[in-house]
Chain A
């Protein structure tokens, strides 16, 4: 059974700083997803990572996947307040998405 764990669960950052959110998963997942959720809203898709070594970047966010280590990372570069949200990673098990606990990110001036 696939289990997905994120850390940290809470992250308070200063604007302009860099940080990384980690997503570990327990068994094989053929793809790894990252989502953003704003308060009271549903999920916004950020990245889908399909293969070992995959790296995708969008603005200040960069996601990577290491299937051997069963680890994905979401790196935030030069954080800005607009990035404040909860970020979820999810693995795929038989077509079902299994979510991590979420990382609540707060970017402060």
Chain B
């Protein structure tokens, strides 16, 4: 149980384009999902907290107009990187918090490369 999927697992896009990453909780409901970014050899940095049916809360320094988050259902959150640039290349990991147990479960990550 407690499986979180992300799609796609890898994506390469051209500078200036947008890319959408999906995060799904497969066997539990998640009122809250979290989006992290991890650069090589660094720790995970929380970007934003996504709450079902309401606006996301962004961490300091994260541009909300660049990283659009939608949490339309209890099992799906999406992160759209708009007008991507090479510096946005990173490993994006989502986690979903089980609404009953309050434990967080991590997705497998999405490797974004912007050329």
User: What does the 1/0 interface line of B36-75 toward A look like (CB < 8 Å)?
Assistant: 0000011111100100000000000000000000000000
Whether B43 contacts A100 by the Cβ 8 Å rule is: yes
* CB closest chain-A residue, reference B106: A43
Q: Cα distance A101–B49 when bound, in Å?
A: 21
Sorted nearest first, the 4 A-B pairs with minimum C-beta distance are A42-B109, A43-B106, A99-B43, A42-B108
Query: Does B93 touch A at the CB level, under 8 Å?
Result: yes
* CB closest chain-A residue, reference B59: A96
Q: Cα distance A48–B95 when bound, in Å?
A: 16
Q: Cα distance A104–B42 when bound, in Å?
A: 10
Mark B residues whose CB is within 8 Å of A.
Answer: 32, 34, 41-46, 49, 93, 95, 97, 102-109, 111
- The one of B49, B102, B105, B109 that contacts A96, using a Cβ cutoff of 8 Å: B49
Consensus secondary structure, chain A interface: strand
Consensus secondary structure, chain B interface: strand
Query: Does A91 touch B at the CB level, under 8 Å?
Result: no
Whether B93 contacts A97 by the Cβ 8 Å rule is: no
* CB closest chain-B residue, reference A102: B43
A-B contacts, 16 listed (Cβ < 8 Å): A35-B106, A42-B106, A42-B107, A42-B108, A43-B44, A48-B103, A95-B32, A95-B97, A96-B34, A96-B46, A97-B95, A98-B46, A99-B43, A99-B45, A100-B43, A102-B42
